Amino acid sequence: MQRPKLSLLICSVVLIATISSCSCNPEKIASLALRGMETMMGDGFMPSDEIRHLGEFQHVSVNLSKSTTEDSESGTIFLKLQDGDPLLLGNQPEILARKCAEIYVRDFENSSDYQQITVQFIQTDPQNPDNFAMQEYEFQVEDLTTT
């Protein structure tokens, strides 16, 4: 019974030492968290800087969804891109949405496990964050992959 308590104590000390050594460097903590997420979800899970720079987006995130019925399984990737430069979004945001989707599907090693990708452009009002505008574009993953 003493051995598990000792192991738990050692793990706790190592964890505290790790956290305290990283506390002055939040970028290191974020980097470790992102690396852990990519290890679990697959390389390229987090949207790349290339996508962020296409529209000068302030926030990027991704969500994966899968549903199963008796005879089929479907999966959707939700790529959420917030507060981009309105001039870069331009008059044809669907072209930018397709380009972002193509890059994400290219970079995410498990994208072939999903059938659709939905790209959302969200613009928030800096004066009132409850006010926002959203444009949404949906693509078939198989249409975005080049062989």
Whole-model pTM above 0.75?
A: no
Q: How confident is the model over 62-106, as pLDDT tens digits?
A: 999 998 888 888 899 999 999 999 999 888 999 999 999 999 999
Task: Tell me: pLDDT of 30 over 90.
Answer: no
Domain ranges of the chain: 2-38, 42-144
pLDDT tens for each residue of 37-49? 555 566 777 889 9
**β-pairing verdict for 59-68 and 73-82:** antiparallel
pLDDT score at 70: 84
H helices within 23-67, ranges in order? 26-41, 49-55
Which of these, 120, 40, 45, 114, lies nearest to 79 by C-alpha position?
120
One-letter-per-residue 3-state SS of 117-145: EEEEEEEECCCCCCCEEEEEEEEEHHHHC
